[in-house]
Amino acid sequence: MKYEAQIEAAAEHFKKLLSEQLERVDRINAAGDAVDYTKKDQIVIGICGGDGIGPTITAAAQTVLTDMLSEEVKKGKIVFKVIDGLTIENRVEHMKAIPDDVLAELKSCDVILKGPTTTPRAGDPWPNIESANVAMRKELDLYANVRPVSVPEKGIDWTFFRENTEGGYAVGSKGIHVTEDLGMDFVVTTTEGTNRIARLAFEYARANGKNRVSIVTKANVIKTTDGKFLRLCEEMAKEYPEITTDEWFIDIMTAKLVDEKRRRDFKVFILPNLYGDIITDEAAEFQGGVGTAGSANIGKRYAMFEAIHGSAPRMVKEGRAQYADPCSMLRATVLLLSHIGYQAESDKLARALDICMFEEKKLTITGRDTGCTCAEFSQYVMDTLKSL
């Protein structure tokens, strides 16, 4: 048979992927309940700067967070742990998305505030190692990527629940070049992987009085995996009869987000990984760009909070890192505070950010010396917090 050896090699590789994924399914099924942080005597917050503008904006968020939780730090309830080594240089040196010692440090924390990290792509000067984000989401099983976007004056109040460990990302760096002319990647959907993100989204909607949940897939084309995702979400919707659940394809939903008459109706979204990745950048643009949006990566044992944008190496190269916008990391801090049970502090920081970013706007960040610096902006946020 023509290509017999190539098909054989690809089948062997595929077998390995199948057994890895089936083991992962077993691990998900065996996972216990989610941690209740309010019942813990001590919460360890890891601070991981990342690369590019990451250390600058993460330091700004850490300063604000330390200031807000100073009493809790004194009591020993909150402990900060700075984790170095998640830089592209160190990752390349170890040829690992996350070097082992850095991973061990991350696992010794409860929650992590993480700056952006550089993701090499084909053609970059770096070897093509896996994204540190994607690796961390997998290693810590952070299955839900929760991304809020709010523009009050436009009536936009959206919360995206992006599945974070499956879809095109599960084996995104393990596709197969079957021959020189044929490359194949794989998409993964599991029952429990879908149920847990759907459960989190519906429970969030119920607890927060959000009366609509929209499931977004491309189940008309990607029939097996998106079809399964859609069917399981629809099944779960039956347990929430007070919530209107509707179903959209990703292409038309992308269009509807710019439809000023319709988009106000949307509240909560559930999406497979890649669609969630794409549409949350679009959504963040209405709020002032990806620099203004934070994201929560939530698992049962760990949680990680980050900006939704990249490490902006160009800003560093052009000597502009000190002008980087810390708002995405500060929004991530809002999510972190809420997740570990400091809801009042979370609300206060969100309010201060609304004042500084949208209402009072005494200082503006432009990413260059035409605006204020990152440190000046975070000081402005801290001064505003004191006045609340």
CB 30 to ligand IPM: min, Å? 26
* CA distances (Å), origin 322, targets 316, 325, 352, 376, 382: 9, 9, 21, 10, 18
Q: What helix, strand, coil percent values describe the chain, rounded to 5?
A: 50, 15, 35
CB 135 to ligand IPM: min, Å? 10
Using CA of residue 119, residue 142, residue 207, residue 230, what is the dihedral sign?
A: positive
- Binding marks (x or -) toward Mg ion, 92..131, rule CB under 5 A? ----------------------------------------
Residue 306 interacts with Mg ion (CB under 5 A)? no
Q: How far apart are alpha carbons 245 and 374 in whole angstroms?
A: 41
- Binding marks (x or -) toward Mg ion, 251..280, rule CB under 5 A? --------------------------x---
CB 296 to ligand IPM: min, Å? 11
- What are the φ and ψ backbone dihedral angles of 94, each rounded to 5 degrees? -90, -5
Among 56, 58, 131, 165, binds ligand IPM (CB under 6 A): 131
Residue 134 interacts with ligand IPM (CB under 6 A)? yes
Nearer to Mg ion, 130 or 277 (CB): 277
Among 119, 190, 194, 245, binds ligand IPM (CB under 6 A): 119
Contacts of 315 (CB under 8 A, 6+ apart): 52, 53, 321, 323, 324, 367
Three-state DSSP state, 214:
strand
Residue 165 interacts with ligand IPM (CB under 6 A)? no
Q: Write out the DSSP string of 123-185.
A: TSSS--PPPHHHHHHHHTT--EEEEEEEEGGGTEEEEEEEE-SSBTTTTTT--EEEETTEEE-
Query: Which residue number has the CB closest to Mg ion?
Result: 277
CB 172 to ligand IPM: min, Å? 9
Query: Which residues bind to ligand IPM, rule: CB under 6 A?
Result: 119, 131, 133-134, 277, 308, 310
Query: Which residues bind to Mg ion, rule: CB under 5 A?
Result: 277
